[in-house]
Amino acid sequence: LVGESNDYTGKGLSGAKIIIRKPEDATIVAHDNIICGNVALYGATSGELYVNGIAGERFCVRNSGAKAIVEGVGDHGLEYMTGGEAIILGATGKNFGAGMSGGIAYVL
């Protein structure tokens, strides 16, 4: 996807690969702007998500197997996550990882 995505991107993802990047002619700085809406990867079981920018609130909530790379997340990221992997290359909001009982989070 070239451009931004709405809320619930990849909800229930089960094996696909989603790549979100800013348009070539965009003047925004990717790691300073939200490009992926709230609640991305809610309930995902497998697959991959790559975001060239920041995701909104509740990123990877209830993720049980998907893999994701993003440049930052809003509040409540990885809440109740039970599996999968998430790499956060920037800032996280409040309440990060609350109720997380499985999976792996790398925060750089």
In a domain, 22, yes or no: yes
Q: What was the pLDDT predicted at 85? A: 99
Secondary structure in 3-state letters for 48-86 = EEEECCEECCCCCCCCEEEEEEECCECCCCCCCCCEEEE
Q: What was the pLDDT predicted at 2? A: 97
The mean per-residue pLDDT over the stretch 77-97 comes to 98
In a domain, 18, yes or no: yes
Verdict on whether the full-model pTM lies above 0.85 = yes
Lowest-confidence segment of 29-33, 62-66, 77-81, 86-90 by average pLDDT: 29-33
Q: What was the pLDDT predicted at 15? A: 97
Length of the chain: 108
Q: What was the pLDDT predicted at 79? A: 98
CA distance 37 to 35: 7
In a domain, 4, yes or no: no
In a domain, 71, yes or no: yes
Q: Which residues share a beta bridge with 49?
A: 18, 68
Domain range for 56 is 14-107
